[in-house]
Amino acid sequence: MNPNLINLFLLAEEQNNSKRDAFGRFLFKDSKIRDISKAYVSREFLKTGQLKPVQWPDGKNFAICLTHDIDKISPGKRERIKIFLESIKNRSIKLKNFYWNFDQIIQIEKSYKANSTFFLMASKGPDKRYDIATLKKVIHSLEKDNFEIGLHGDFFSTTQIKYMSEEKKALSKFLNETLYGIRQHFLKIEIPLTFENQIISDFKYDSTLGYPDQIGFKNGMAHPFYIKIKKLDKQILEIPLAIMDATFQTNKNNYLTDQKKIWTEIKDILDEVIAVNGCVSILWHNDRFSEDLYPGGAKMYENILAYCSEKNAWLTSCKNVFEHIHKTKPTLPTIDF
């Protein structure tokens, strides 16, 4: 196999490059690899047999894990002031909570016979965003409708297992279902420490692996794969993140202004997943469904669902993909750390 593809798969560049942004992340702009729009590693593994085509349920051609990171559930003080001043300026007092969009998200996804994963924060430490108890009724409603709840690990849980364990315990108290998966806040990962902590904390899957500043296939994979920590002799399933809404924060967050450009970029990534019968996750935050905050954000998400549905996608949660892989045991590659 081409050594460059091996290094891409193994995330060698990120491990050997100390450059990080203000949040401690290795960004696409700092990578020497300039094209991640193709799943080069998935394609090569399919040729060599290290990856066998996954048979998705009900004859579906590919799988898309729909996910939502719930970073906020209400506006902060500055945001409330801004919203109030703008409402006065526009002569329409609209003081609604632009972050409380759970019913809207559920309605959209049900119309496509889809379900998704909501990654909730349960931090009690320095990165606490909200009290998870506030979402008790929402959690039970989501679970009743077969939506998944995952943990959105806070900034410090990336490197400190104490925080990760505490957050998992705090969230699990409100769940009727087993807590399977995690995505790290800010997409911040410390390789391999974060994966080691996730495995010790008994998570079954992670879905953090993606660039915050570029959509595409970070390590060339458009399929789930395993990450194994050799000293633990245990592994975790990685469901790579290929598309995130926050990557397109341009032109005052107006998705309508750049609609054609954004859709072309997203469609190119989706078409590559289709071409290799793959599976990736996409991330659409709850606030992107607010027309007041992000004009065109909800419509762009609906465009994704409509296109994927038309192409015979399995639109589902990360947990459902994990369980399907656990049951059918397809041949998937592994990164050993």
Q: How would you write the chain as a 3-class SS string? A: CCHHHHHHHCCHHHHHCCCCCCCCCCCHHHCCCCCCCCCHHHHHHHHHCCCCCCCCHHHCCEEEEEEEEECCCCCCHHHHHHHHHHHHHCCCCCCCCCCCCHHHHHHHHHCCCCCCEEEECCCCCCCCCCCHHHHHHHHHHHHHCCCEEEEEECHHHHCCHHHHHHHHHHHHCCCCCCCCEEEEHHHCCCCCHHHHHHHHCCCCEECCCCCCCCCCCCCCCCCCEEEEECCCCEEEEECCEEEEHHHHCCHHHCCCCCHHHHHHHHHHHHHHHHHCCCEEEEECCHHHHCCCCCCCHHHHHHHHHHHHHHCCEEEECHHHHHHHHHHHCCCCCEEEC
**pLDDT for 59 beyond 90:** yes
**Residue 256: what pLDDT?**
73
**Residue 75: what pLDDT?**
81
Proportion of the chain above pLDDT 90, given as a percent: 85
**Residue 258: what pLDDT?**
83
**pLDDT for 294 beyond 70:** yes
Q: For the residues 151-171, what does the mean pLDDT come to?
A: 97
Instruction: Determine contact, residues 292/286, Cβ cutoff 8 Å.
Output: no
Six token digits for residue 130: 């909200």
The type of residue at 109 is E
Q: What is the pLDDT of residues 6-57, one digit of tens each?
A: 999 999 999 999 999 999 999 999 999 999 999 999 999 999 999 999 999 9
**Residue 255: what pLDDT?**
75
The band of 4, judged by pLDDT with boundaries at 50, 70 and 90, is very high
**pLDDT for 152 beyond 80:** yes
Instruction: Determine contact, residues 188/144, Cβ cutoff 8 Å.
Output: no
Six token digits for residue 95: 């003081």
**Residue 292: what pLDDT?**
81
Residue with tokens 């458009």: 222
**pLDDT for 145 beyond 90:** yes
Question: What value does the mean pLDDT of the chain take?
Answer: 94
**pLDDT for 81 beyond 70:** no
Instruction: Determine contact, residues 205/313, Cβ cutoff 8 Å.
Output: no
**Residue 89: what pLDDT?**
64
**pLDDT for 330 beyond 90:** yes
Instruction: Give CA–CA dist 196/204, Å, rounded.
Output: 12
**pLDDT for 285 beyond 90:** yes
What class has domain 3-336? alpha beta
Q: What is the pLDDT of residues 226-272, one digit of tens each?
A: 999 999 999 999 999 999 999 987 555 567 778 899 999 999 999 99
The packing angle between helices 259-275 and 297-310, to 10°, is 30
Six token digits for residue 212: 């915050």
**pLDDT for 333 beyond 70:** yes
**Residue 97: what pLDDT?**
81
CA distances from 172 to 35, 74, 133, 146, 180 (A): 39, 22, 11, 17, 10
- In a 13 Å sphere around the CA of 158, the CA atoms on its Cβ side amount to 17
**pLDDT for 98 beyond 90:** no
